[in-house]
Amino acid sequence: MKKLPEITMAFWIMKICATTLGETAGDLFSMTLNIGYALISLILVGFFIVTLQLQLYATKYKPMLYWSVILATSTAGTTMSDFMDRTLGLGYATGSLLLITILIATFVAWKKTEKSVSVNDINTFHGETFYWIAILFSNTLGTALGDFLADNSGLGFLGGALLIGSLLLLLILAHYFLKVSEVLLMAETLELHETHKNLDKKKHYLK
């Protein structure tokens, strides 16, 4: 039974809103309220697990529940990335490489287990679990990659934004002209969108 929405323009508008809200909430909890990256990451990952369980055991698509999980991945992803890169001292480059490895491993395991990583083929418990794991780590990677591009790559905010914008354009072209896996396409778009939002956030904070 399909419990996921169609990937349409309305989906991406909602995703932009959810990502913006989630990242802002993550920064509010960890920095403005000074809860700390470690504690708030545990709390938000717990919230993600709770909403994920409700989503996985739902019998049909429920918009409020689905977008609650999306919000949880964005919020938890922001604080998880900051915890890895700053509290643990991994740094943006190492953190990004680690998250890329985890994301690739998720897709490999997903493909091996379900034989497909297409959104249209997600109709099992395990398939949907892999879907959400991919989204969570895509969001986490987006935050780490945004920090890396802004602070360590030498590209700066403008160069990073141009790079991400170009990659997003290539993904759009791939969607219409190439047979690219829909889930892979979505995960990469989520990651790049999160990266772009993080670049905007850092630019705003440093003004």
pLDDT in tens, 157-167: 666 667 766 76
CA separation for the pair 97, 159 (Å, rounded): 20
Q: What is the pTM of this model?
A: 0.77
CB 157 within 8 A of CB 203: yes
CB 104 within 8 A of CB 166: no
Q: How distant, in Å, are the alpha carbons of 92, 100, 147 from that of 88?
A: 11, 18, 15
Lowest model confidence (mean pLDDT) among 10-14, 36-40, 75-79, 129-133: 10-14
Q: State which amino acid sits at residue 159.
A: G
What is the pLDDT, as a whole number, of residue 184?
Answer: 52
Res 203 pLDDT > 50 = no
Res 173 pLDDT > 70 = no
What is the pLDDT, as a whole number, of residue 194?
Answer: 54
> What's the angle, vertex CA 194, arms to CA 24 and CA 81, rounded to 5?
75
| Arithmetic mean of pLDDT, 28-32 | 81
CB 92 within 8 A of CB 152: yes
pLDDT tens profile 45-80 = 999 999 999 999 998 999 999 999 999 998 998 899
Give me 159's structure tokens: 């160069």
In the chain, what is the straight-line distance between the N-terminal and C-terminal CA atoms, in Å?
48
Q: How distant, in Å, are the alpha carbons of 12, 32, 139, 189 from that of 15?
A: 5, 24, 11, 11
CA separation for the pair 69, 50 (Å, rounded): 9
Quick count: other Cβ atoms within 10 Å of Cβ 127? 20
Res 115 pLDDT > 80 = yes
